[in-house]
Amino acid sequence: MAKTNPGRFFEDYTVGEVIRHAVPRTVSGGERALYHALYPARHALYSSDEFARAAGLPSAPLDDLAAFHVVFGKTVPDISLNALANLGYAEGRWLLPVYPGDTLRSESEVIGLKQNSNGKSGVVYVRTRGLNQRDECVMEYVRWVMVRKRDLDAPAPETVIPELNKVIPAEQLVIPAGLHFSNYDFTLAGEPHRWGDYAVGETIDHVDGVTIEEAEHMLATRLWQNTAKVHFDNTARPDGTRLIYGGHVISMARTLSFNGLANAQMIVGLNGGAHANPCLSGLTVRAWSEVLDKADTDAPGVGAIRLRLVATKGGAPFELKGEDGKYLPDVLLDLDYWALMPK
Amino acid sequence: MAKTNPGRFFEDYTVGEVIRHAVPRTVSGGERALYHALYPARHALYSSDEFARAAGLPSAPLDDLAAFHVVFGKTVPDISLNALANLGYAEGRWLLPVYPGDTLRSESEVIGLKQNSNGKSGVVYVRTRGLNQRDECVMEYVRWVMVRKRDLDAPAPETVIPELNKVIPAEQLVIPAGLHFSNYDFTLAGEPHRWGDYAVGETIDHVDGVTIEEAEHMLATRLWQNTAKVHFDNTARPDGTRLIYGGHVISMARTLSFNGLANAQMIVGLNGGAHANPCLSGLTVRAWSEVLDKADTDAPGVGAIRLRLVATKGGAPFELKGEDGKYLPDVLLDLDYWALMPK
Amino acid sequence: MAKTNPGRFFEDYTVGEVIRHAVPRTVSGGERALYHALYPARHALYSSDEFARAAGLPSAPLDDLAAFHVVFGKTVPDISLNALANLGYAEGRWLLPVYPGDTLRSESEVIGLKQNSNGKSGVVYVRTRGLNQRDECVMEYVRWVMVRKRDLDAPAPETVIPELNKVIPAEQLVIPAGLHFSNYDFTLAGEPHRWGDYAVGETIDHVDGVTIEEAEHMLATRLWQNTAKVHFDNTARPDGTRLIYGGHVISMARTLSFNGLANAQMIVGLNGGAHANPCLSGLTVRAWSEVLDKADTDAPGVGAIRLRLVATKGGAPFELKGEDGKYLPDVLLDLDYWALMPK
């Protein structure tokens, strides 16, 4: 019996099946420090226990995207080892903050399958949940990937395409218990702009850029125990490049967005996202945002803001797609998320 | 209203003004581990809780220079975003050790202003204080930077040049409460040389060298939340290089100085410092030291030693300036500091 | 008196002498997070406090190899600064798990000396022990290195060659107190293969590869406070390359072996090891294993498995030596160790 994991192929998935992913992970101050070393992370709620306490939390949580990466990384060996493409995200919600000392594991339910017309591959939809040591769900999201078939003669499964919200309704966002921005210190947070200062349709060029190094994206991707070989092995791709984990670009863009969105503190919803073009080392990543929507919440002083976050490797800000409706070649990422901001 | 931070220009500063800097930061064992990964840090007091306890401290503090970097990093968006040059440091004192769990923030008071004769820029002097979660000052230092004017027609401010000590008098150095070197273990510390073994005028070649990588200086600089774009963006400078944060060179030189100064445990004073030439990746950094002065202290077994620490990228040790009085091209750093050493 | 450490030469060692090594080190969650960032580490017992508790331990220990690196790193300034070659390891045993908060130091006893026939160097055998803050021995191992003579006219010492076990008898392996695999969760651990599923003589190709970067091996080697200049200074070797610390290759190979040996959780014995060829940055490291032996233990559900772990930089798996009995040029490491596995 072969001992190594060959990964699953399209015909290995069944709608309704729940896959328990391996390797639970306890996080500590070490993960927080590394997140600050790997990305220009400056959002105060994740940087300072005192700032988090002033906002009603027991201490600074692990960055929301770090929690996402830990949960996501565990799914790779079961979901995307033989994936041809990561097609999309939907219905992502952060349900509980993750604190140093928490242990995370992941589960994915197969919620859709559709064989491609060429018969060589198919689309697998999974809803992934991150669970802590008390089996509480800390976050969930749907993603769909294109996966190869092992056996081209395997029969096509019944097509099931899940109905997914294009946007999470604001009332379904979960605000952490106790969170408030009643006595929010805008000076310590870094910018004076509050929820009311942002207008739907407004665009923000985050100005700064970071040139990407091989060592850094590999450190980051390993930290999340994502072991997809294309990220690490320069012999795994015909051109000798290492493909950078899409999540590295997400975190880079989000942290660059501090400059103009310093008060978009907590990410609570992921409406969708596309990795528009591959990211390779040596590129300089920049970011721009667009305000897509705003909504009030019941938490004292807390508003919700829906943002488009775009990462680029060049070109002018605020340009996204060409006349053909396709992403421009310099666009790396197009992400749609909800964040919480002081009113 | 533009949302991103354009930084301050020379005419935006007023003598007497106190600027509260953004993004408080809680430190943990993660920062300590990263400091050991980024630099060849071996001073025992910062490496071992047990060694620190034997010296009268509750546990190993965060490295003094790591505390400095955290405090310094916060000032960048308000002080040096539009700086043309970092001109000098003075009157730096470490006042309280920083421990895992502490949260640091920074404030700077503008203590001097002098417009340059060309009318295009001026020198801004600030006294920066690092404060912990109890609003205790953990360290302070003066630095002065040359900052561009936004509006060349803005009137020159009244010239105020602060009087600064060229050297901090030994009696103004602050020894951490309880610190003693009464039962100091020289074997565990790594070298037998005690305070009495060093003579004023003595020079030490620290022998070892470290070749600098882009990934490492960016990890370090981000860890301190210093976001000056020249350190990260290879499109920000005409020659496509990334300028290495001067503090990275300070930490590299100080940790290399372990070999010959293993017992210069705590840094308590920063008399002055010059970043003589820019540091770029690919260079191999070396260091040498000169004993500038010695002083006794009231703490049991503790002496103070004043050291010149020079980092180079080549050339012979102990050569600093040319006949024209200017730093030689291979000199990166010339730092003047006080450290505590067992007698 | 020169202040820097010139290292010891062959004639400076005496059989029976015990060398206390410098710079004790307290470990925390920071070291654990960095180990996950530097290596594709996924063994569940070291990743999850909850998984470790289910196996009878108080929390997840520091990875066994991280503990080894910390203990080893301290010996470098006294044992291998003037070494021409690291010749071998034997009788390595892990005696106590290391937990966050523990402080480690090292001692080495000289147990053998043999001058080489050329009179220019000799072989030094040391038994190194890692001790925690309670002076308990957490691990021990023998290694022997070839060290230069300072003075070629120094007389040869009496030759003493220690008798060393080629393989540690299984009954001498130390199982951590309380460890059991009675209710082991194979799904969370990542693979279904139990001790009974492995046959002596079986070989496993671990498939994945990692391309090595300068920044990463330097971060790792510094983290263990190993300051041998060949790892850091590209001017220290005639060809301008940096030689990668052999322990970096050991950890890379061990963590790559997760894919096929996910349940070989704890390393308890190091029978031997050879760094067959130097490792340089830019290479892609792969690994394969061979089951050398199996033994039962008294701990509930726990079996011992003896494995050969080979790291390569190319070539076909399972090829080790040429017809001349020498390691093939693509072989980097040949390690022989005992691990604990659920039955």
Q: Which of A4-8, A218-222, C106-110, C310-314 has the lowest mean pLDDT?
A: A4-8
Q: Is B29 in Cβ contact with C34 (below 8 Å)?
A: no
Q: Choose from C1, C21, C25, C248 for mutation: most chain B CBs within 10 A.
A: C25
Neighbours of chain A (3+ CB pairs under 8 A): B, C
For residue A83, the model assigns a pLDDT of: 86
Out of A164, A194, A209, pick the residue that ends a domain: A164
**Radius of gyration over every alpha carbon of chain C, rounded to an integer in angstroms:** 20
- Where chain A has pLDDT below 70, the residues are 1
Interval C268-296: pLDDT, tens: 999 999 999 999 999 999 999 999 999 99
Neighbours of chain B (3+ CB pairs under 8 A): A, C
Q: Are strands A210-211 and A284-296 parallel, antiparallel or unpaired?
A: antiparallel
Asked if residues B114 and B122 have their Cβ atoms less than 8 Å apart, the reply is: yes
To the nearest whole angstrom, how far is the Cα of C34 from the nearest Cα of chain A? Answer: 7
To the nearest whole angstrom, how far is the Cα of C1 from the nearest Cα of chain B? Answer: 9
To the nearest whole angstrom, how far is the Cα of A22 from the nearest Cα of chain C? Answer: 4
- Of C207, C215, C280, C289, whose CA–CA distance to C249 is shortest? C280
To the nearest whole angstrom, how far is the Cα of B54 from the nearest Cα of chain C? Answer: 12
Model ipTM value: 0.96
- Of C217, C274, C275, C223, whose CA–CA distance to C241 is shortest? C217
At residue C102, what is the residue type? Answer: D
Query: Percentage of chain B surpassing pLDDT 90?
Result: 93
Separation CA C99–CA A189 (nearest Å): 36
Nearest CA in chain B to C214: B213
Nearest CA in chain A to C37: A223
Residues of A in contact with B216 (CB under 8 A): 215
- Nearest residue, CB atoms, C5 vs list B44, B209, B259: B259
At residue A85, what is the residue type? Answer: A
Q: Tokens at residue B59, please?
A: 């546990």
For residue C119, give its domain range. Answer: 1-27+62-162
For residue A17, the model assigns a pLDDT of: 98
Interval B57-71: pLDDT, tens: 999 999 999 999 999
Beta-strand ranges (E) seen in B15-174 are: 18-20, 25-26, 83-94, 103-115, 121-131, 137-148
Interval B302-342: pLDDT, tens: 999 999 999 999 999 999 999 999 999 999 999 999 999 99
Q: Residue B103 falls within a domain, yes or no?
A: yes
Interval C209-222: pLDDT, tens: 999 999 999 999 99
Residues C70, C21: one domain? yes
Residues B144, B179: one domain? no
Dihedral (Cα; A171, A173, A179, A183), 10-degree rounding? -70
Asked if residues B44 and C22 have their Cβ atoms less than 8 Å apart, the reply is: yes
For residue C240, the model assigns a pLDDT of: 86
- Residues B174-209 as b or e (16 or more Cβ within 10 Å = b): ebbeebbbeebbbebbbbebbbeebeeeeebbbbbb
Q: Is C103 in Cβ contact with B50 (below 8 Å)?
A: yes
Q: Residue B175 falls within a domain, yes or no?
A: yes
Please provide the average confidence, as pLDDT, over all residues in chain B.
Answer: 96
Residues B127, B173: one domain? no
Q: Is B261 in Cβ contact with C3 (below 8 Å)?
A: yes
Residues B77, B195: one domain? no
Number of B/C CB contacts below 8 angstroms equals 138
Q: Residue written as tokens 């043999």?
A: C114
Asked if residues B338 and B269 have their Cβ atoms less than 8 Å apart, the reply is: yes
Nearest CA in chain C to B209: C233
For residue C82, the model assigns a pLDDT of: 84
Check residue A206 and report its DSSP letter.
Answer: -
Residues of C in contact with B214 (CB under 8 A): 215
Residues of C in contact with A27 (CB under 8 A): 33
To the nearest whole angstrom, how far is the Cα of A267 from the nearest Cα of chain C? Answer: 23
Residues C157, C172: one domain? no
CATH of the domain at A19: 3.10.129.10
Neighbours of chain C (3+ CB pairs under 8 A): A, B
Quote the distance between the C-alpha of residue A77 and its chain's center: 18
Q: Tokens at residue B165, please?
A: 């000590």
Separation CA A2–CA A8 (nearest Å): 14
Interval C112-137: pLDDT, tens: 999 999 999 999 999 999 999 999 99
Residues of A in contact with C209 (CB under 8 A): 229, 232-233, 235-236
Interval C137-169: pLDDT, tens: 999 999 999 999 999 999 999 999 999 999 999
pLDDT at B176 over 70: yes
Q: Residue B55 falls within a domain, yes or no?
A: no
- Of A215, B94, A183, A86, whose CA–CA distance to C213 is shortest? A215
Q: Residue B50 falls within a domain, yes or no?
A: no
To the nearest whole angstrom, how far is the Cα of B213 from the nearest Cα of chain A? Answer: 10
Residues of A in contact with C31 (CB under 8 A): 30
Separation CA B75–CA B80 (nearest Å): 7
Interval A91-108: pLDDT, tens: 999 999 999 999 999 999
Q: Choose from B222, B226, B280 for mutation: most chain A CBs within 10 A.
A: B222
Q: Is C24 in Cβ contact with B28 (below 8 Å)?
A: no
Q: Tokens at residue C232, please?
A: 């850091």
Residues C15, C150: one domain? yes
Residues of B in contact with A189 (CB under 8 A): 22-23
Residues A153, A302: one domain? no
Out of B139, B164, B189, pick the residue that ends a domain: B164
Q: Is B37 in Cβ contact with C34 (below 8 Å)?
A: yes
Residues B95, B185: one domain? no
Residues A22, A134: one domain? yes
Q: Is B4 in Cβ contact with A260 (below 8 Å)?
A: yes
Q: Residue A169 falls within a domain, yes or no?
A: no
- Nearest residue, CB atoms, C223 vs list B33, B219, B259: B33
Mean pLDDT of C84-95: 95
Q: Residue B46 falls within a domain, yes or no?
A: no
- Nearest residue, CB atoms, C24 vs list B29, B47, B204: B47
Separation CA B217–CA C215 (nearest Å): 10
- Of C5, C21, C30, C31, whose CA–CA distance to C105 is shortest? C21
Q: What is the domain count for chain C?
A: 2
Residues B253, B300: one domain? yes
Separation CA A55–CA A49 (nearest Å): 10
For residue B238, the model assigns a pLDDT of: 86
Residues of B in contact with A203 (CB under 8 A): none
Separation CA C160–CA C17 (nearest Å): 13
- Nearest residue, CB atoms, A210 vs list B1, B105, B232: B232
Check residue B244 and report its DSSP letter.
Answer: P
To the nearest whole angstrom, how far is the Cα of A186 from the nearest Cα of chain C? Answer: 30
Interval A131-158: pLDDT, tens: 999 999 999 999 999 999 999 999 999 9
Q: Is A1 in Cβ contact with C50 (below 8 Å)?
A: no
pLDDT band at C236 (very low <50, low <70, confident <90, very high): confident
For residue B239, the model assigns a pLDDT of: 87
- Nearest residue, CB atoms, A260 vs list B3, B25, B133: B3
pLDDT at B1 over 60: no
Separation CA B127–CA B107 (nearest Å): 8
Cα of first residue to Cα of last residue in chain B, in angstroms, is: 60
Nearest CA in chain B to A41: B225
To the nearest whole angstrom, how far is the Cα of C101 from the nearest Cα of chain A? Answer: 13
Phi then psi for C334, rounded to 5 degrees? -135, 105
Q: Residue A41 falls within a domain, yes or no?
A: no
Interval B103-129: pLDDT, tens: 999 999 999 999 999 999 999 999 999
To the nearest whole angstrom, how far is the Cα of B236 from the nearest Cα of chain C? Answer: 23
pLDDT at C1 over 80: no
Residues of B in contact with A216 (CB under 8 A): 215, 218-219
Interval B70-107: pLDDT, tens: 999 999 999 988 888 889 999 999 999 999 999 999 99
Q: Is C216 in Cβ contact with A215 (below 8 Å)?
A: yes
Spell out the SS3 assignment of chain C: CCCCCCCCCHHHCCCCCEEECCCCEECCHHHHHHHHHHCCCCCHHHHCHHHHHHCCCCCCCCCHHHHHHHHHHHHHHHHCCCEEEEEEEEEEEECCCCCCCCEEEEEEEEEEEEECCCCCEEEEEEEEEEECCCCCEEEEEEEEEEEECCCCCCCCCCCECCCCCCCCCHHHCCCCCCCCCCCCCHHHHCCCCCHHHCCCCCEEECCCCEECCHHHHHHHHHHCCCCCHHHCCCCCCCCCCCCCCHHHHHHHHHHHCHHHHCCCCEEEEEEEEEECCCCCCCCEEEEEEEEEEEEECCCCCEEEEEEEEEEECCCCCCCCECCCCCECCCEEEEEEEEEEEEC
Q: Residue C280 falls within a domain, yes or no?
A: yes
Four-residue CA torsion sign, C116, C119, C123, C124: positive
Residues C221, C268: one domain? yes
Residues of B in contact with C236 (CB under 8 A): 209
Residues of C in contact with A101 (CB under 8 A): 49
Interaxial angle between packed helices A246-256 and A214-223, expressed in degrees from 0 to 180 and rounded to the nearest 10: 100
Number of A/C CB contacts below 8 angstroms equals 139
For residue C229, the model assigns a pLDDT of: 86
Q: Is C33 in Cβ contact with A232 (below 8 Å)?
A: no
Residues A236, A334: one domain? yes
Asked if residues B288 and B312 have their Cβ atoms less than 8 Å apart, the reply is: yes
Out of B164, B195, B225, pick the residue that ends a domain: B164
Mean pLDDT of B271-292: 96
CA-to-CA dists, residue C290 to B317, C168, C201, C310, angstroms: 51, 17, 6, 8
Query: Percentage of chain B surpassing pLDDT 70?
Result: 100
